[in-house]
Structure 1
Amino acid sequence: MAEVMRATVASLLKGIDRYNPDNLTTLEQYVKMQVDENTYDLEANLAVLKLYQFNPGNYNESVTIYILLKALTNLPHTDFNLCHCFLSAKNLNSEDVQKVFFLADLLEKCQFKTFWKCNDFFSSAALLQILAHIDDLPHMVYDVVGFEDSIRKYICHVIGICYDTISRKVFAELLGCIPEMQLNQWIAKYGWKLIDSDTIFIAVQEENIKTKNIKETITLENVAAIMTMASKGQLVPPVAPQ
């Protein structure tokens, strides 16, 4: 079903017809299909947002929120930022749209425990206020099939490039306080190993650091030109720091 719809939408997006507002109904249905069937088509979703730009009277906030949430499922790619560029200032100021941007900000800053509302954070009055804000998110967050696992995949990506080892407790919290069985599945998925009952070996990060040799070539002609300018007083002296 999704593949048939993808092919239909691809044909609608060819040439000038991609800006035809009569296609909005089909494209919006396709967005909902992505939400329900855990598929993703960035090009089609950007086309919807572009049509909203050209036809503000057809703007649908619910569809926009679905598009933004689907973009979050493709982190660490920059899809969310692309979608952001297509939203007008008026639409950005919507309370529900701002809530999605709040979630995106937490993920960008790697505040994963706050994102999942782990109990460790309930001792902070400031974070209690933040968590209350999350609780008021639109119900569409929970409609997106595979949303939580997509975020966990992103979190594992971050862990994979930042950690040598990590404790099972911290790892479980970062993934949303998931049960032991799920935790073991994520460890196995990324090929990580248990060093002992509480420590997960991720990688030796030093082995992943690629050195880069920077070669700068200064020719005799370059030096001669500078010396000539200096002898004629044509070089501008550097400005002293204030």
Structure 2
Amino acid sequence: MATTFEQMRANVGKLLRGIDRYNPENLSTLERYVDTQARENTYDLEANLGVLKLYQFNPAYFQTTVTSQILLKALTNLPHTDFTLCKCMIDQTHQEERPIRQILYLGNLLETCHFQSFWASLEENRDLIDGITGFEDSVRKYTQVKVWMNKYGWTENEDGQIFIHYQEESVKPKNIVEKIDFESVSSIMATSQ
């Protein structure tokens, strides 16, 4: 199965080069590729953005199901900004449609670290993640990192690096007191000269 995905990735990579990137005839191949990503727990941001760009240029071809899969796959890649990139490429009228609106709400809950509300809302809308292999595990990884960061006051910079605040306050120095009398040191100093 992995070789099938790799072959498909190579095929899609060729489609996304040059002017063919905006050819609506390639849309069915790209949509199948999105479905493959969902089933096989893989991810290709460039291909997904290509699909959304084709939907922008060809609104008649818009598929709510495929767009939902793209958004859910972008959520599995948090804390990266993929979800925001994808969200910005979807027309406002389509953002109001039922599954997309709910996914955007879930994304907002995750990005604002309202994890309990996220899990409760996800439980009420389990049908949204049907067919998205590994969704919950990916979100758990993200939430665990965020919980640790909040607990210890860590922050993430623009490069995705985590900065640990007040490291010097968390390190407790130890004072080691040794009692050495002059006679024991003088014999060592006499032999070293």
What is the TM-score with the length of structure 1 in the denominator? Answer: 0.61
1:51 maps to 2:11: no
1:157 maps to 2:138: no
Q: 4+ residue stretches of structure 1 with deviation over 3 A? A: none
Residue number in structure 1 paired with 2:167: 207
CA distance in 2, matches of 1:33, 1:138: 20
SS at match of 1:77: coil
**Larger Rg, first or second structure (1 or 2):** 2
5+ residue gaps, structure 1, are: 118-130, 166-203, 210-242
Task: Indicate how the Cα distance of structure 1 residues 114 and 208 shifts in structure 2: closer, same or farther if over 3 A, else same.
Answer: farther
Q: Is the 8 A contact 2:99 2:128 kept in 1?
A: no
SS at match of 2:130: helix
What is the TM-score with the length of structure 2 in the denominator? Answer: 0.75
SS at match of 1:80: helix
Q: Within 5 A, what are the aligned runs for 1:11-160?
A: 11-117=14-120, 131=121, 135=124, 137=125, 139-160=127-148
Task: Indicate how the Cα distance of structure 1 residues 4 and 208 shifts in structure 2: closer, same or farther if over 3 A, else same.
Answer: farther
CA distance in 1, matches of 2:127, 2:65: 10
- Compute the displacement of 1:114 (Å): 1.6
Task: Indicate how the Cα distance of structure 1 residues 140 and 116 shifts in structure 2: closer, same or farther if over 3 A, else same.
Answer: closer
- Compute the displacement of 1:159 (Å): 2.1
Per-residue CA shift, 1:69-101, capped at 9, x if unaligned? 000000001101101111111111112211001
Per-residue CA shift, 1:1-22, capped at 9, x if unaligned? 1111111100000000000000
- Compute the displacement of 1:38 (Å): 0.3
C-alpha RMSD over aligned residues:
2.3
Q: Is the 8 A contact 2:34 2:69 kept in 1?
A: yes
Task: Give identity over the alignment, percent.
Answer: 49
Q: Which deviates more from structure 2 when the two are superposed, residues 151-160 or residues 59-68?
A: 151-160
Per-residue CA shift, 1:24-47, capped at 9, x if unaligned? 000000000000000000000000
SS at match of 2:103: helix
5+ residue gaps, structure 2, are: 154-163, 170-193
Per-residue CA shift, 1:137-190, capped at 9, x if unaligned? 37241321000010011112212322249xxxxxxxxxxxxxxxxxxxxxxxxx
The count of aligned residue pairs is 157
SS at match of 1:163: helix
CA distance in 1, matches of 2:106, 2:82: 15
